[in-house]
């Protein structure tokens, strides 16, 4: 009788230890995935901020340069062909602007997924968990 009781206590303690180990493992997995997700968010935030600053400064400088170039070209042809000069400059700017817009849209479509590494790790975890569950049955 005493031997049976100690076996029940040992199996109860073994079960409790297994649950503690399982809980610790789950917590460690969740912690690692959240840490990876946090790193992905930080990288994406820095990339977007840097790109935004670059785009704003570039647009300002390009707009200012385009304005000065337009004025310069129209002033050169003021006495002879001012309307032709103004139309040509306008057409050139619209054409280049359209090409840049198409290129920007293409670059946006080609951007990698923001949480690509996190999603890949979660997919690996899912495969491991589902294959482990199938092996046990």
CB 115 within 8 A of CB 40: yes
- The token duo for 99 is 């090409």
Backbone angles phi, psi at 79, to 5 degrees: -80, -25
Q: Give SS3 for 115.
A: coil
CA distance 66 to 63: 5
The enclosing H or E element of 104 equals helix 82-110
CB 40 within 8 A of CB 114: yes
Confidence of residue 26 (pLDDT cuts 50, 70, 90): confident
- Residues 2-12 have pLDDT tens digits of 455 555 555 66
Q: What is the mean pLDDT of the chain?
A: 80
CA distance 56 to 62: 10
CA distance 107 to 109: 5
Confidence of residue 137 (pLDDT cuts 50, 70, 90): very low
């Amino acid at each position: 009788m005493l031997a049976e009781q100690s076996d029940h206590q040992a199996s109860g303690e073994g079960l409790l230890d297994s649950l503690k180990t399982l809980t610790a493992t789950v917590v460690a997995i969740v912690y690692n995935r959240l840490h990876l997700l946090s790193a992905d968010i930080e990288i994406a935030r820095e990339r977007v901020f840097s790109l935004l600053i670059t785009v704003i400064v570039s647009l300002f400088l390009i707009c200012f340069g385009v304005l000065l170039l337009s004025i310069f070209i129209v002033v050169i042809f003021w006495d002879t062909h001012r309307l032709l000069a103004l139309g040509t400059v306008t057409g050139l700017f619209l054409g280049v602007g359209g090409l840049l817009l198409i290129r920007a849209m293409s670059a946006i479509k080609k951007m990698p997924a923001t949480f690509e590494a996190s999603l890949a790790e979660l997919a690996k975890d899912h495969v491991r968990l589902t294959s482990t569950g199938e092996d046990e049955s």
